[in-house]
Chain A
Amino acid sequence: MPLDFYLNIVASGLLTGLVYGLAALGLSVIFGVVRVVNFAHGEMMVAGMYGAVLLFGFLGLDPVLSAPLVAAVLFAFGWVLQRGLVNRFVERPEHMQFILLLGIATIVLNLLLMIFGPDSRGVQVDYVFDTMEIGPLLLDAVRVRAGVGAVAVAAALFAFFRFSRTGKAIRACADNPLGARVVGLNLDGLYAFTFGIGAAVVGIAGALMVLVVETRPQLAPEYTLLSFIIVIVGGLGSLPGALLGGVLIGVSEALAGFLLMPSLKALFSYLVLIVVLLLRPQGLLGRRS
Chain B
Amino acid sequence: MTPRALVLGGLLLAVLLVVPLFADGYVLSVLTTVLWFAYVGQAWNVMMGFSGLLSLGHALYVGLGAYASAALFVHFGIGPLVGLFAGIALAVAAGAFIGFLGFRFGVRGVHFALLTIAFAEVARIGFDHIGWVGGSGGLFLPVGGSNPLNLRGSPTLFYYVILALVLLALVLAKRLLHSRLGYQWLAIREDAEAAEAVGIDLFRARIKAVVVSAALTALGGVFQAFYFNNLFPEQVFSMGRSIEIILPAIVGGVGTLFGPILGAFILTPLGEALTSAVGALGVDMPGMKQLFYGAALVLIIVFRPDGVWPWLARRLRLVRAPGEGGR
Q: In the complex, what residues of A have CB within 8 A of residue B285's CB? A: 114
Least CB distance, A200 to chain B, in whole angstroms: 23
Q: Are B297 and A264 in contact (CB under 8 A)?
A: no
> Would B107 and A114 count as touching, CB distance under 8 A?
no
Asked whether B295 lies within 8 Å of A107 as measured between CB atoms, the reply is yes
| Structural contact, A105 and B294, CB atoms closer than 8 A | yes
Query: At the interface, yes or no: A178 with Cβ under 8 Å from chain B?
Result: no
From A221, A225, A277, give the contact of B101 (CB < 8 A).
A277
Which residue on B lies nearest to A92, using beta carbons?
B305
Interface 9-mer from B22-30, B123-131, B161-169:
B123-131
Stretch at the interface among A9-17, A64-72, A155-163, A267-275: A267-275
Stretch of B38-46, B113-121, B192-200, B201-209 with 4 or more beta carbons under 8 angstroms from chain A: B113-121
Report yes or no: B298 in contact with A113, Cβ–Cβ below 8 A.
Answer: no
**B228-249 CB contacts (< 8 Å) to partner A:** 239, 243, 246
Q: Are B243 and A106 in contact (CB under 8 A)?
A: yes
Across the interface, do A107 and B129 meet the contact criterion of CB distance under 8 Å? no
Q: Is the CB of B288 within 8 A of A107?
A: no
A-B contact pairs, 29 of them (CB 8 A): A95-B52, A95-B54, A95-B109, A95-B113, A98-B110, A99-B246, A99-B301, A100-B298, A100-B302, A102-B56, A103-B295, A107-B291, A109-B290, A111-B287, A114-B285, A114-B288, A221-B239, A225-B118, A225-B121, A232-B114, A263-B125, A263-B129, A267-B125, A274-B101, A274-B115, A274-B122, A277-B107, A277-B111, A278-B105
Q: Does B106 make an interface contact (CB < 8 A)?
A: yes
Given contacts A85-B302, A106-B294, A270-B119, 17 further A-B contacts (CB under 8 A): A85-B298, A94-B54, A95-B254, A102-B297, A104-B294, A106-B243, A107-B291, A110-B288, A113-B286, A113-B290, A225-B239, A228-B114, A229-B118, A261-B129, A267-B125, A270-B118, A273-B118
Q: In this assembly, does A266 line the interface, its C-beta being within 8 Å of a C-beta of chain B? A: yes
CB nearest neighbor in B for A37: B110
Inter-chain CA distance A20–B66, complex, in Å, is 35
- Residues of chain B from 94 to 110 with CB closer than 8 A to chain A in the complex: 101, 105-107, 109-110
**Are the CB atoms of A264 and B129 closer together than 8 Å?**
yes
Interface residue ranges of A25-50 to B (CB < 8 Å): 37
Which of the residues A106, A225, A277, A281 comes within 8 Å of B297, measured between beta carbons?
A106
Question: Does A277 lie within 8 Å of B286, measured CB to CB?
Answer: no
CB-contacts of A238-289 with B (<8 A): 261, 263-264, 266-267, 270-271, 273-274, 277-278, 281
Using a CB–CB cutoff of 8 Å, the interface residues on chain B facing chain A are 48, 52, 54, 56, 101, 105-107, 109-111, 113-115, 117-119, 121-122, 125-126, 128-129, 239, 243, 246, 250, 254, 285-288, 290-291, 293-298, 301-302, 305
A118 interfacial by beta-carbon distance below 8 Å: yes
Q: Which residues of A contact B56 (CB under 8 A)?
A: 102
Report the minimal beta-carbon distance from A180 to chain B, rounded to whole angstroms. Answer: 23
Query: Which label, helix, strand, loop or mixed, suits the secondary structure of the B interface?
Result: helix
A106 and B293 within 8 A (CB): yes
In contact, A225 and B301 (Cβ under 8 angstroms): no
Q: Does any Cβ of B come within 8 Å of A148's Cβ? A: no
Q: Is B290 within 8 A of A106, CB to CB? A: yes
Q: Does A7 contact B (CB under 8 A)?
A: no
Residues on the B chain within 8 Å of A228, using CB: 114
Q: Are B115 and A277 in contact (CB under 8 A)?
A: yes
Q: Which residues of B contact A113 (CB under 8 A)?
A: 286-287, 290
Q: Which residue of chain A has the shortest Cβ distance to B294 in the bound complex?
A: A106
Of A88, A232, A263, A270, the contact of B128 (CB 8 Å cutoff): A263
| Chain A residues near B110 (CB-CB < 8 A) | 37, 94, 98
Quick check: is A96 within 8 A (CB to CB) of the other chain? yes
Q: Return the 8 tightest CB-CB contacts between A and B, nearest first.
A: A106-B294, A103-B297, A110-B287, A103-B298, A113-B287, A107-B294, A110-B291, A267-B125
Within the assembled complex, what's the spacing in Å between the Cα atoms of A278 and B129?
A: 25
Q: How far is the CA of A110 from the CA of B288 in the complex (A)?
A: 7
Residue contact B105 to A103, C-beta cutoff 8 Å: no
- Contact between chains at A266 and B121 (CB < 8 Å): yes
Q: In the complex the two chains form, what is the Cα distance from A100 to B119 in whole Å?
A: 23
Determine the distance from Cα of A37 to Cα of B113 in the docked complex, in whole angstroms: 11
Central interface residue in A85, A99, A118, by most chain B CB within 10 Å: A99
| Chain B residue with the shortest CB-CB distance to A279 | B105
Q: Which residues of A contact B297 (CB under 8 A)?
A: 99-100, 102-103, 106
Q: Quick one: CB contact mask for A72-105 with B, threshold 8 Å, 1 for yes?
A: 0000000000000100100010111011101111
Docked-complex contact A103 and B301, CB < 8 angstroms:
yes
**What residues of B have a CB within 8 angstroms of the CB of A274 in the complex?**
101, 115, 118, 122
Query: Which residues 212-237 of A sit at the B interface, judged by CB distance below 8 A?
Result: 217, 221, 225, 228-229, 232
Per a CB cutoff under 8 Å, which of B52, B128, B291 touches A106?
B291
